[in-house]
Amino acid sequence: MDITEIIQHQHDEQRRMFAYLEQWPRDDREGLAAVWRRLAILLETHAEAEERYFYPELLRLGTGGADAESTEEEVEDAVKDHNEIRAAVRAADEHETGSVGWWTAVVDANVHNSDHMGEEERQDLADFRQQATLELRHVIAVNFLRYESQKAAAGTKPVDKDPQQYLDRHASDAVTDSEKHATKLAVAAAEGTPPTGAGATKTSS
């Protein structure tokens, strides 16, 4: 398993589910509510899993992909995007399914999510594929999918994150991990042995 592929696959699923809503019979409000509930759970569990398991490692190893100014800019923008998606989901839940207000909020969620996915695929995922080992990408995928599976039936309560506080908290962790990794590499070099473990080498896919 590879976390970059898992995220990409779930992006494709989110796109399909928004397309299902667009094509669903407008008078079948029970069906619309069921599809939307499933999609809303996927959107939030996906966002929370990224914030728990993917972005901290991206901060540790990333260099800033594509048109991103830096890794910090990538992650800060991603957390802001998640907050915008959460706001649209909350807005939809305030309206009767199938009403004009509901559809407006669903479209807003689609717009924010589409922008977010495109940027994440262009920047974050491409960056991580270049910097992280396959071993690390597998470990993150396992943790990511475990969390989502545990929350799949009922979802998890959406909680907005302050992007700067998120960066401050995880950037300090990234520095500590990087220092440990640098020490490990130095010891391995001095002993003439190749380093092992996640993040030991850079692997492209």
The pLDDT mean for the chain works out to 86
Q: Are 116 and 78 in contact (CB under 8 A)?
A: yes
Domain encompassing residue 187: 3-191
Residue 197 lies in a domain: no
Distance CA 93, CA 112 (A): 17
C-alpha dihedral, 124 to 128 to 134 to 136, nearest 10°: -90
Average pLDDT over residues 10-33: 98
Tokens 């992280």 locate to 132
CA distance 13 to 4: 14
DSSP 130-147: HHS-HHHHHHHHHHHHHH
> Does pLDDT of 186 surpass 80?
no
Asked if residue 198 belongs to a domain, the reply is no
Residue 69 lies in a domain: yes
Residue 185 has pLDDT above 50, yes or no: no
Element (H, E) at 173: helix 163-191
pLDDT in tens, 103-121: 999 999 999 999 999 999 9
Query: Of 41-55, 89-103, 188-202, which range is least confident?
Result: 188-202
How many separate domains does the chain show?
1
**Whole-number pLDDT of residue 139:** 96
